[in-house]
Structure 1
């Protein structure tokens, strides 16, 4: 009889001990989970000392959830910081011309101001107002591009002729900086299907970047094969490095962190989005202080030779 009681008692003691240990593990895991959830950015995971396989499988599932939550939390924190920084940048870019405009308007209220000075101040106010309008337009275009809501008017354009015209528009700017311009375009037409206004925005932003960083030389060339046409823009840029180039298409990225010039840091971001949404490709590289942008568009079907 005693043996029977012992036989029945041993499993009872074993399962009681197991239940106690598992209950303790669950209680500790619950506390750890609560602590980890409150500080999800900490790289902590739930562990089991008991060795129960089913409980370990459960913890594996929970840890995977924690890992995913941690990644999402980190992404959220980073994005929140980026948004705050972007709001700060936008506020600065809008406030600067507005402050200038308000300052010159105050000058105009001076009764002793001469007509010549008044005309100069009005001219400055006009320039600042146009710059402010263009800046707001860039913000608007960027929001539409990122939401895929930008309306393109696609037509057949001779990219060879268009690039030549864009270079001529900036001829005086190149001369003022004593930048030697080398042009190596095609001796034939090269038609692509793009939005003409968007194409002008792309090259305006790229050429403004050239004028900003080039010191002495700029070269633009076109290469054409059976299916594509590639536009290559090369200039010296001894103030840029590989890190700058890596972030050059990022929103609001500027080499000059003080944001003291009139640039918004959005021109190349907009250019990249415009190129890509017209089924093109844009790349950038720097090698020994030589900056190179390349833009590739698909040739119009009528121009493709099979």
Structure 2
């Protein structure tokens, strides 16, 4: 009996020693894996070579932690690239009108000009100054929307009455651009909780974006779907086929790489920011060759 006890004790001690050695080997494996990861080497997923619930749980948490770090590093790189692009774009947008203003000021100082030439030069300076003012206002507004201190005055709003009032103001601009607008507006009362000035800004930005880029027809609709009021603006945009429509809301993305237009290109970013602040959504999708911008507010 005593011999059996000694044998069992010896086997138990041997098994414990083996398990301890295997555990130490796994710990060394974990250490080497983390070292390679910290040194910037690709280490892959951490796996264990022995059945142990505690070590398995530790490996799972290490893998989860490294995944979070990889995601954070990718996000940091994306943010840094966006910031770099933002600085470049803002510098370009501000430099263009400033260069023109400075050039015309030099022209006014350099030689005698006729009254008509002087008036024309001053007109150009005035236009470039207004563009510069608009750019600075857009940059400031976008920064404010992102601020936690930015607040809207939400109240009951009749969207079915406000929308036609906004659209009427764009009639002449649409005609000048050669756009043919068609309207399908809900006749029933549509009440939402929103900030009137923010709704005006959203709709104005969407329509102005269409006037700038669209040709041919512009379809504008306002309908009730389930518990939401949905505003859609659709126009032909075959050049955007194959483009990720989410890029349109990227504050630093412009389809026109020359950035030579009369605006900052931030209109859709500002509109989406305002919609989010009001608890609504603004999305874009391609339906065939048509670009559809879709605003949605919850009904009261």
Query: Hey, what does 1:293 align to over in structure 2?
Result: 293
3-state SS of 1:243 partner: coil
Higher relative contact order (CA 8 A, sep 6+): 2
Find the aligned partners of 1:168 and 1:62 in 2 and give their Cα distance: 60
Find the aligned partners of 2:21 and 2:185 in 1 and give their Cα distance: 82
> Map of 1:71-82 to 2, 5 A cutoff?
71-82=71-82
Query: Hey, what does 2:63 align to over in structure 1?
Result: 63
Assess, with a 3 A threshold, how the Cα gap between structure 1 residues 45 and 280 changes in structure 2: closer, same or farther: closer
Instruction: Quote the RMSD (CA, aligned, Å).
Output: 3.3
Query: Hey, what does 1:88 align to over in structure 2?
Result: 88
Find the aligned partners of 2:149 and 2:24 in 1 and give their Cα distance: 56
Alignment coverage as a number of residue pairs? 295
Find the aligned partners of 1:56 and 1:279 in 2 and give their Cα distance: 43
Find the aligned partners of 2:229 and 2:51 in 1 and give their Cα distance: 64
Assess, with a 3 A threshold, how the Cα gap between structure 1 residues 70 and 114 changes in structure 2: closer, same or farther: same
Query: Hey, what does 1:135 align to over in structure 2?
Result: 135
8 Å contact from structure 2 (residues 245, 286) kept in 1: yes
- Shift in Å, 1:114: 2.3
- Shift in Å, 1:49: 5.4
Find the aligned partners of 2:116 and 2:250 in 1 and give their Cα distance: 43
Assess, with a 3 A threshold, how the Cα gap between structure 1 residues 296 and 14 changes in structure 2: closer, same or farther: closer
Is 1:169 the counterpart of 2:169? The answer is yes
8 Å contact from structure 1 (residues 252, 264) kept in 2: no
Query: Hey, what does 1:108 align to over in structure 2?
Result: 108
3-state SS of 1:262 partner: coil
8 Å contact from structure 2 (residues 33, 43) kept in 1: no
- Shift in Å, 1:216: 0.8
* Residues 67-76 or 265-274, more deviating: 67-76
Find the aligned partners of 2:226 and 2:63 in 1 and give their Cα distance: 53
Query: Hey, what does 1:98 align to over in structure 2?
Result: 98
- Shift in Å, 1:55: 5.3
Query: Hey, what does 1:304 align to over in structure 2?
Result: none
- Shift in Å, 1:140: 1.6
3-state SS of 1:205 partner: helix
8 Å contact from structure 2 (residues 36, 43) kept in 1: no
Find the aligned partners of 2:35 and 2:235 in 1 and give their Cα distance: 57
- Shift in Å, 1:53: 7.0
Find the aligned partners of 1:214 and 1:246 in 2 and give their Cα distance: 18
Query: Hey, what does 2:34 align to over in structure 1?
Result: 33
Is 1:278 the counterpart of 2:278? The answer is yes
- Shift in Å, 1:25: 5.8
> Map of 1:116-155 to 2, 5 A cutoff?
116-155=116-155
- Any idea what the Cα deviations from partners look like across 1:1-27, whole Å, max 9, x if unmatched? xx9xxx999999998888777666655
TM-score w.r.t. the length of structure 2 is 0.81
Is 1:259 the counterpart of 2:259? The answer is yes
The unaligned stretches of length 5 or more in structure 1 are 302-306
3-state SS of 1:102 partner: helix
